[in-house]
Amino acid sequence: MSENSGAGILYIVATPIGNLGDLSPRAKDVLMSVDVIAAEDTRHTSRLLSHFGIKRPLLACHDYNERGRSEQIVQRLQDGESVALVSDAGTPLISDPGYHLVNAVREAGLKVVPVPGACAMVAALSVSGLPSDRFFFEGFLPAKGSGRRKRMAELVDFAHTWIVYESPHRIVDMLDDMAQELGVDRHVVLARELTKTFETVLSGTVVELQDILANDENQRRGEFVVLVRGAEKPELGSGDIPEEVLRTLSVLVEELPMKQASQIAAKLTGVKSKVLYKAGLAMKDA
């Protein structure tokens, strides 16, 4: 559906997750210029706007009224008004309201413009020291222990870094569930109170982090981003190598020295070269 050039624009504006200095100049300009600001919590947003001397009308848009509010906002946009959507902190729609609104606005053929900025999940990943080339954001795990453990069991073999948000009153129980479902040696990072005065980033095995939190109640306070190292792929034994990989290796072994053959086969197949080297030796001895 083509966009209506005469209509207003919905801006998705990221706001600080703690340090107010992280509000971008562009975000400030947009918030000062729009006709209305749709906010997850108008009281929270009014304090942010007051800090920056921004005086714009506020409209509540949260989980409980978003569907109905979306119709009103679409109408305002069609009438030529511009609207900014903000959440309490960070980037809207990332475990915050906004999906139904953005979907409704786009379905109406109206323009949605991102104003990027702070996001707790991305900030935590950037300092975690965990692999970041591929990752999965889970959002919030189920609040109840049984549901939380069930979801962890589904993620136990996930090969890449995965990320969740957690509250202070559940963080200890969450680590206990991780010990049960993922094992006490799984590497985890707890990023707490990011960009705020008492920001900490703790890194270690599940059992090491359990010990830290058990002995320091301050480390159980604040909002958490929890990052989990992906599961290690079990190393193939020579008896586990797929038949097509062995055929590739056998051709290379006939033409090249064993070390070179196994290295080339590893690049072609993704199987570790030392595993292929052992398999090649077994071929020679057979």
pLDDT tens digits, one per residue of 27-54: 999 999 999 999 999 999 999 999 999 9
Residue 269 scores a pLDDT above 80: yes
pLDDT single digits (tens) 87-104 = 999 999 999 999 999 999
Identify the band that residue 3 occupies on the pLDDT scale cut at 50, 70 and 90: low
Of 10-19, 217-226, 243-252, the poorest mean pLDDT is in 243-252
Could you tell me what percent of the chain has a pLDDT over 70?
Answer: 95
Residue 173 scores a pLDDT above 60: yes
The pLDDT assigned to 234 comes to: 57
> How many Cα atoms within 13 Å fall on the side-chain side of residue 191?
23
- Mean pLDDT confidence for 226-246: 80
Secondary structure, 3-state, the chain: CCCCCCCCEEEEECECCCCHHHCCHHHHHHHHHCCEEEECCHHHHHHHHHHCCCCCCEEECCCCCHHHHHHHHHHHHHCCCCEEEECCCECCCCCCCCHHHHHHHHHCCCEEEEECCCCHHHHHHHHHCCCCCCEEEEEECCCCHHHHHHHHHHHCCCCCEEEEEECCCCHHHHHHHHHHHCCCCCEEEEEECCCCCCCEEEEEEHHHHHHHHHHCHHHHCCCEEEEECCCCCCCCCHHHCCHHHHHHHHHHHHHCCHHHHHHHHHHHHCCCHHHHHHHHHHHHHC
- Cα–Cα separations (whole angstroms), residue 142 to 62, 63, 150, 170, 173: 20, 17, 9, 11, 12
The pLDDT assigned to 147 comes to: 97
Of 4-8, 204-208, 213-217, 267-271, the poorest mean pLDDT is in 4-8
Identify the band that residue 238 occupies on the pLDDT scale cut at 50, 70 and 90: low
Which residue's entry shows tokens 């020291």? 129
Residue 132 scores a pLDDT above 80: yes
The pLDDT assigned to 271 comes to: 85
Among 217, 220, 189, 216, CA closest to 202 = 189
- Mean pLDDT confidence for 205-230: 97
The pLDDT assigned to 163 comes to: 98
Identify the band that residue 285 occupies on the pLDDT scale cut at 50, 70 and 90: confident
Identify the band that residue 277 occupies on the pLDDT scale cut at 50, 70 and 90: confident
The pLDDT assigned to 1 comes to: 47
Helix axes 145-155, 171-181, angle to 10 degrees: 50
Between 62 and 240, residue with greater pLDDT: 62
Residue 228 scores a pLDDT above 50: yes
User: Residue 183, by phi and psi: left (phi above 0), alpha (psi -120 to 50) or beta?
Assistant: left
Which residue's entry shows tokens 């595993």? 275
Mean pLDDT in the chain?
Answer: 94
Query: Tokens for 33?
Result: 């210029």
The pLDDT assigned to 284 comes to: 76
